[in-house]
Every structure is written in C-alpha cells, then in structure tokens.
Amino acid sequence: MTDFTDEELALDPHFADQFEQGFRPTCQLYLISPPSIDDAFVGQLAAACDGGKVAAFQLRLKGLDEDAIARAAEPLQRLCADREIAFIINDSATLAHRLGADGVHLGQGDGDPRLARTLLGPKVQIGVTCHDSRHLAMEAGEAGADYVAFGAFYPTTTKPTSHRPDPSILGWWTTLFELPCVAIGGITADNAAPLVAAGADFLAVSGAVWNCAKGPQAGVAAFADVLRSRFDEA
C-alpha cells in the first residue's frame, strides 16, 4: 500500500484507484501542445483526445505574452474540463493561477516550486523539469513537486535539448519514490516501450501526435498498446 495524497494523485484520478489495489498505475499519456497554434487547434485537440485516453494536456506556447496565451487557453481549457483532462500551463505559475489551471510545469529557470506552491495552493499540480539529474529530481520532490520530468530521452525537433538520460533513471526513481515521473523528449509509439518498461508514469508527447501523418487522433491511438504494456506485465 502507498500513502499517496489525493493531491499527488490528481493528475489522473485513476491513479488513486490503482494505488489502492496495490500496484503502480499503468503509464498514461501527457499531451503537450505544439509550440505555436492557430484557431483550428481546438479541433485538433478534440481529435487527439478521441484517439484514446489523455490524462493531461500541457499548453506550451513559446514566444507569446501571457495575455495571448490566456486567450488561446480559453477553448482548450474548456475542452479539457469537459473531458476530465488535467489542464497544465507551461512556464508560468502566475498564468496558471490567473487561469485557474489544474497545474503548472516549471523548468529549472521558470521559478521556484516552493513559491509556486504558495501562490497556487495544495490542489494545483506542480511539475518540475529534472533533465537527467537524480539530484534535481530529489530537490524537486523536497520542494513539493507533484511530479518530476526526465528527458529528453530521444532526439527531438520540438526544442533544442542537451540532456539525454538513460531510461534506467525512471526505474531508479520509481523504486525509491512514490511521486510520479514523466518521460519526455522525442517519444513515439515505436520507441516508448523501454520507457514504459523502465517505470515511466507518464509519457509526455508532442511531435508524435501533432505531426502524425494520419492526424492527431491516429497519433494518440498509436500509443494504446505501448501504454497498456506495463499493466499487462504487472
């Protein structure tokens, strides 16, 4: 049995049920937006979510001010609320607070998670980028993060990356800590299996869904089998 709090489990309510049954939940999809979007994107997000279970959606828009991100967020946040998908804002705890988002993702240069917690309160999810660093992950956990994110596991064109963790960092983390861990960076349905097997609680995915030749619905659907695999092996 574990002593995960409701807050720790809130990124996906099914986590709680599965922990109560005595095992670490199956891996879930954490969808990340493209770095820029247009008005058609809400339809693409709806299509993606029709493709299979999406536990969380992160609005990660780069090069826009907070007012512009807030305008873009409105229909997307509504869609996520309707479908019970956690709506996470990237980079800015103040914007997450302003929007009443379910969570915020903070990189190492995006502010102190402790200050974010003071602003956002206990119920809002705070995720922290930890690159390939066990030290950063333990620090994030001590600072009260709700999840830690490791990556980039694979090369990606979505952003320049300089850290390339080994999947074993996921197994190390999940063996020692109950706090969920997220794997990110160049993840596709074809290369995700070692990350799921190593213990990732979430796969954070952008390009493999939005650049899928068959569309975002097929992009999400392609992950179904690999996400089930840890559950099947348990």
Ligand X SMILES: Cc1ncc(COP(=O)(O)OP(=O)(O)O)c(N)n1
Considering the complex, state which of residue 52 and residue 107 has its C-beta at the smaller distance from Mg ion. 107
The residue type found at 212 is C
Q: From residue 128, how far is each of 37, 105, 211 by CA, in Å?
A: 24, 6, 26
At residue 171, φ and ψ (nearest 5 deg) are: -70, -40
Q: Does the protein bind ligand TZP through residue 92 (CB under 6 A)?
A: no
Joined together, the tokens standing for residue 87 give: 């709506």
Dihedral angle sign, alpha carbons of residues 120, 205, 225, 87: positive
# residues contacting ligand TZP (CB under 6 A): 15
What's the token pair of residue 166? 């080994």
Q: Between residues 128 and 226, which has the closer beta carbon with respect to ligand X?
A: 128
Q: Is 230 annotated as a binding residue?
A: no
Q: Figure out which of the listed residues 26, 28, 77, 156 binds ligand TZP, where binding follows CB under 6 A.
A: 156
Task: Choose the binding region for ligand TZP from 69-77, 118-126, 167-175, 178-186 (rule: CB under 6 A).
Answer: 178-186
Q: Which ranges of 52-167 would DSSP assign to H, the alpha helix?
A: 66-82, 93-99, 113-120, 134-142
| Residue 158 touches which of ligand TZP, ligand X, Mg ion, none (Cβ within 5-8 Å per kind) | ligand TZP
Q: Which is nearer to ligand X, 105 or 230 (CB)?
A: 105
Q: Which of 94, 161, 174, 229 binds ligand TZP (CB under 6 A)?
A: 161
Contact 24, 222 (CB under 8 A): no
Binding residues: 58-62, 90-91, 110, 129, 156-159, 186
